[in-house]
Structure 1
């Protein structure tokens, strides 16, 4: 028997239709209350069209340093996912080096701006 899981994402918008709050639930998570998030990246692969479909949203109160951490961590986990799917360790290493370089450049920029 096939099992199912439903993931729900609720985005509350302000008057300008900008995300104000993001909440999500998953029915097999074991928690009744929705969890809050400041951002999410959601991607789907359309095999027929050979294209990625995505939604990228973040709330108004997400700070620049939080976005940098979010992107860095996402790149690192994407590298791990790619590695599990392909076994191409050299490309995983390249992706992770890029992510570390990205974060290093962000930190340097923040220091230069005095943040």
Structure 2
């Protein structure tokens, strides 16, 4: 029999339907404890339609620097996944280089804005 696992995601919304909190847990996790998150990206690949279906959410208290960190780390792990799933190491490294450049430019922009204050 095929094993099945469950991932639960709970999103608390304010009166304007803006996410205030995101909680999640998984059956392989540490008990029934809900984990807190400020943002999430969930993607499914529809092989029949050849399209990605996505849910991207972030809470209203997520700071811009946290979003940049989140994107940097997500891009880096996507590169790792691509390298493990395909024989194309060079493209995975190009994705990592893009992620590093993205994060460097974000930090430079933050510094410029701080200097202008």
Question: TM > 0.5 between the two?
Answer: yes
Q: Distance in 2 between matches of 1:36 and 1:57?
A: 13
SS in 2 for 1:114: helix
Aligned pair count?
115
Rounded Cα–Cα distance in structure 1 between residues aligned with 2:31 and 2:66: 25
Q: Deviations over 1:8-53 (max 9, x none)?
A: 0000000000000000010111232100000000000001110000
- Structure 2 residue 58 is the aligned partner of structure 1 residue 84: no
d(CA) in 1 for partners of 2:53 and 2:95?
21
Distance 1:18 1:108 in 2: 30
TM-score by length of 1: 0.97
| Counterpart position of 1:43 | 43
**TM, length-normalised to structure 2:** 0.95
Counterparts of residues 16-27 of structure 1 (less than 5 Å): 16-27=16-27
Q: Which consecutive aligned stretches of 4+ in structure 1 deviate over 4 angstroms post-superposition?
A: none
Inter-partner Cα distance in structure 1 for 2:69 and 2:30:
27
Where do 5+ consecutive residues of structure 2 fail to align? none
